């Protein structure tokens, strides 16, 4: 399992995923071609009408799984963008709420906020965060800064005289919303298709390639145009699905929304 995960990460970060799928499909088509050609020449096997029924069932199932995985990956991608937008909004509101505290406590807490946002910006910045262990360490450090903010704010509220304390205490719900938004955003990166669904998609794609090659071998006639169109479209579709499913790894990214965090940090 770890080996397959490492392979997926490597293929996506290196940009080789599309070419890897393309090569595998061409290999399966070639294997199917040779098997079909061998059976045709040695045993005189010819294509039968029932084969079209089997082909329709296999490719129909493949189309269904593609539709489900593409739709799910796209929906999760949109949800992640929405959660980043909510996180930025919650951060900005909480930072503005620092004005509710007494003047002497504000500078320290504002500095902690800047440190917190810097930590969030750097959370997914480097490729080494693709390592689950390394990412968890960075998340722990980020949460530690959040704990510092909470303790500093609680202390500031407790030290505020009544009735100003009632005003200052209104920052606490804003902080809670900020931490909740941050945690929701982090957890969203862990939501993916069950591995068996993606495995079925890739397996059916390879089986479809094998059968396509086998049919051409049985008929002893290659169709290079359809072969190229088929492998490019299938490899491209799986590539796009994986890009949506793991936007921190490939070309499709969440950078357009992460940049809002940078804009917020510059405004502080």
Quote the pLDDT of residue 129: 46
Over residues 176-196, the mean pLDDT reads 90
| Rounded-to-integer distance, Cα 250 and Cα 13, Å | 6
| Model pLDDT for residues 22-80, shown as the tens digit of each residue | 999 999 999 999 998 888 887 776 765 556 777 888 888 999 999 999 999 999 999 99
Q: Contact, 230 vs 56, CB < 8 A?
A: no
Where would I find the H helices in 220-252? 224-245
Mean confidence (pLDDT) of the chain: 87
| Rounded-to-integer distance, Cα 170 and Cα 97, Å | 8
Can you give the residue ranges of every domain in the chain?
A: 2-266
Residue 264 vs residues 45, 105, 160, 166: alpha-carbon distances, Å: 69, 21, 28, 28
Q: How confident is the model at residue 249 (pLDDT cuts 50, 70, 90)?
A: confident
pLDDT at 192 over 50: yes
Which residue's entry shows tokens 């996506």? Answer: 12
Over residues 94-122, the mean pLDDT reads 92
| Rounded-to-integer distance, Cα 89 and Cα 156, Å | 23
Three-state DSSP at 197 gives helix
**pTM: predicted TM-score of the whole model, two decimal places:** 0.83
| Model pLDDT for residues 124-147, shown as the tens digit of each residue | 776 544 556 677 888 889 999 999
Residue 133 structure tokens? 């262990």
| Model pLDDT for residues 162-173, shown as the tens digit of each residue | 888 888 899 999
Residue 19 structure tokens? 């070419």
């Amino acid at each position: 399992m770890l080996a397959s995960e490492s392979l997926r990460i490597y293929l996506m970060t290196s940009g080789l995923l599309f070419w890897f799928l393309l090569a595998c499909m061409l290999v399966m088509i070639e294997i199917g071609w040779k098997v079909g050609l061998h059976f045709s020449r040695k045993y005189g096997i010819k294509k039968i009408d029932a084969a079209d029924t089997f082909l329709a069932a296999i490719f129909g199932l493949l189309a269904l799984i593609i539709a489900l995985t593409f739709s799910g990956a796209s929906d999760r991608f949109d949800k992640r963008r929405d959660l980043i937008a909510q996180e930025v909004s919650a951060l900005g509101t909480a930072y503005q709420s620092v004005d509710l505290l007494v003047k002497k406590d504000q500078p320290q807490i504002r500095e902690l906020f800047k440190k917190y946002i810097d930590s969030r910006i750097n959370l997914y910045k480097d490729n080494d965060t693709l390592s689950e262990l390394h990412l968890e360490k960075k998340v722990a450090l980020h949460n530690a800064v959040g704990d510092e903010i909470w303790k500093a704010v609680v202390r500031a509220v407790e030290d505020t005289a009544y009735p100003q304390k009632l005003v200052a205490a209104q920052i606490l719900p804003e902080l809670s919303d900020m931490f909740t938004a941050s945690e929701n955003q982090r957890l969203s990166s862990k939501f993916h298709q069950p591995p068996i669904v993606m495995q079925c998609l890739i397996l059916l794609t390879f089986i479809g390639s094998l059968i396509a090659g086998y049919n051409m071998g049985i008929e002893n006639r290659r169709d290079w145009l359809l072969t190229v169109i088929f492998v490019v479209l299938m490899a491209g579709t799986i590539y796009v699905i994986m890009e949506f499913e793991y936007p921190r790894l490939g070309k499709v990214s969440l950078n357009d929304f992460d940049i809002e965090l940078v804009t917020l940090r510059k405004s502080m």
